[in-house]
Structure 1
Amino acid sequence: MKCTVNWNHNNGMLFVASTGSGHVTVMDGAVEGGGNDSAPRPMEMLLAGAGGCAAYDVVLILKRGRHAVTDCQVSLVAERADTDPKVFTQIHFAFIVSGKDLPENAVERAVKLSHDKYCSASAMLGKTANITYSVEIRNS
């Protein structure tokens, strides 16, 4: 896996990341840090990546189990250390999984498997943060 991050020095603290898979994303800093607040902060991107990784796992596990999942949302709330490096110390993943007749045990299992086994991002962040999760199921 590769990624190149370039500083766009004409725009304060704007950084452009180009991924090995050919995609581009932008990050910026807060105004008080010299940025223009025009894009997510790098740590927000890290948190979003963990949410995407976990949600991906949950949907894939449910689909492989032939469950009729129609939506998966995960909201993350994180706390950071007060001193540098300001690592994440607490992260809560709140999942809302929707579908047709989704069995509670299958959804709970998918979230647990993501948390315990598959989500690489959560595993790395779990080295500094206490990670918790909750699950809400919306059946139609």
Structure 2
Amino acid sequence: MKVTLERKNTEYLLEAKGASGIPVMIDNKGSEVVQGSSPMELILMGVGGCSAIDIISILKKQKQEIESYKVEVTGDRVEQDGSKPFKAIQVMVSLEGAIDAAKAQRAADLSFQKYCSVSKTFDSVVEITYHVILNGKAIS
């Protein structure tokens, strides 16, 4: 796997591309006019996106009807030798549709405990917790 980044202005704006060639803009959140996501936001997006792909895939294979899928990912950071890495990440998965609650929970468990490569990358250094909301009701 390989990505490329190219500086797009005289400040911090970068255009990143992976194998698809689709650009993702990255910027310094302290810039006067922010034109992209920060690298730390991209990490949270990676956790949310990776788990979403897993959960949706698992539920589709089980013929569950997903009408809506939303995820909110929050990261808690800690000051450490001049940097601020994540110490904890919380994920809130919200599903709507004709979905069996046990299947939704199992899909989330499989994603975060087995399949999501992004979450697994951080397993040993960041506590990642997750909860599932199904049709407005917490199931975990």
Question: What's the TM-score once normalised by structure 1's chain length?
Answer: 0.89
Which stretch of the first structure deviates more once superposed, 16-25 or 52-61?
A: 16-25
The CA RMSD measured in Å over matched residues stands at 1.6
Shift of 1:30: 2.4
- Report the secondary structure of 2:135's partner residue: strand
2:110 is equivalent to residue 113 of structure 1: yes
Which stretch of the first structure deviates more once superposed, 110-119 or 36-45?
A: 36-45
Contact 1:95/1:134, CA 8 A, preserved across alignment? yes
Map 1:76-95 onto structure 2 (within 5 A): 76-83=73-80, 84-95=82-93
Which stretch of the first structure deviates more once superposed, 55-64 or 15-24?
A: 15-24
* Residues matched between the structures, number: 135
Structure 2 Cα separation of the partners of residues 121 and 7 of structure 1: 25
Contact 1:4/1:19, CA 8 A, preserved across alignment? yes
Contact 1:6/1:17, CA 8 A, preserved across alignment? yes
Amino acid at match of 1:68: E
- Report the secondary structure of 2:67's partner residue: strand
Partner of 1:29: 28
Question: What's the TM-score once normalised by structure 2's chain length?
Answer: 0.89
Amino acid at match of 2:121: M
Residue deviations 1:10-35 (CA, integer Å, cap 9, x gap): 2x11111011122111110023xx56
Structure 1 Cα separation of the partners of residues 32 and 61 of structure 2: 43
Partner of 1:133: 130
Structure 2 Cα separation of the partners of residues 129 and 120 of structure 1: 14
Structure 1 Cα separation of the partners of residues 20 and 57 of structure 2: 20
Map 1:21-100 onto structure 2 (within 5 A): 21-31=20-30, 36-83=33-80, 84-100=82-98
Task: Flag the structure with higher helix content.
Answer: 1
Distance of aligned partners of 1:35 and 1:3 in 2 relative to their CA distance in 1, 3 Å threshold: farther
Q: Any gaps of 5 or more consecutive residues in structure 2?
A: none
